[in-house]
A and B are shown apart, each in its own frame.
Chain A
Amino acid sequence: EDQVTQSPEALRLQEGESSSLNCSYTVSGLRGLFWYRQDPGKGPEFLFTLYSAGEEKEKERLKATLTKKESFLHITAPKPEDSATYLCAVQAGNNRKLIWGLGTSLAVNP
């Protein structure tokens, strides 16, 4: 069964303390892995798409990487405004639909 698992469920960091969020997946035929950011009371905001193992993408303090089994979202020197829930989703096989993880809730303290 296709599955996406995110860890940890929650993470609290001090401003400037770098860390990584994990998205592990078990799917048949990865077509794309997506990272989103969701602020309270808002819809998910698209960040990155990764297609194949070894691929990396960066945006400001965020860097997403992909292996054959998992993806990491690295946050370098985070700021309080990076506080949000980060969601991972996978598109697999011939499926038009996305398989969503439950998210990691990140809090960055000043």
Chain B
Amino acid sequence: NAGVTQTPKFQVLKTGQSMTLQCAQDMNHNSMYWYRQDPGMGLRLIYYSASEGTTDKGEVPNGYNVSRLNKREFSLRLESAAPSQTSVYFCASSEGTGKGQPQHFGDGTRLSIL
């Protein structure tokens, strides 16, 4: 099993450009998440989808949009990229959002915005 697959692995954008980060999981999980990881800041939740058809904001949603395309896929869109969005982006999934259900992560997208 591949687990959680993220594409692309690396991307460089210019300020103001838009792009979509893709995430797919093959574990039949109900819940999916988007995080960003920055030095000294740790993992911060951008958006999550508790189940197919629902999405909710996390700690740092400004400048981002998400789409839960189906049970397997959850995409993150930057409409107008800014240098402050330079980061490593991780997608994760879990069986649900109930007690003690661990999240499983992809290997990330390294995004630089010039």
Contacts and interface: CB of A to CB of B under 8 A. Distances in A.
Is B truly associated with A?
yes
Interface string A24-54: 0000000110101000011111100101000
A83 interface: no
A78 interface: no
B105 A43 contact: yes
A42 B48 contact: no
A98 interface: yes
A46 to B, nearest CB: 5
B83 interface: no
A108 interface: no
A102 interface: yes
Interface residues of A, number: 22
B102 interface: yes
A49 B43 CA distance: 18
A42 B108 contact: yes
Interface string B19-44: 00000000000010000000011111
B45 A43 contact: no
Interface size class of B (residues with CB under 8 A): 20 to 34
Find the residue from A51, A96, A97 having the highest chain B CB count within 10 A: A96
Given A97-B58, A100-B42, A101-B42, A46 B104 contact: yes
A49 B32 CA distance: 18
A91 B50 CA distance: 15
Nearest to A97: B45
Contact of A43 (B31, B42, B106): B106
Given A49-B102, A100-B42, A43 B97 contact: no
B97 A96 contact: yes
Given A87-B43, A102-B42, A103-B42, A31 B107 contact: no
Contacts of A91: 99-100
Given A96-B50, A102-B42, 6 more contacts: A36-B105, A42-B108, A46-B102, A46-B104, A87-B43, A96-B48
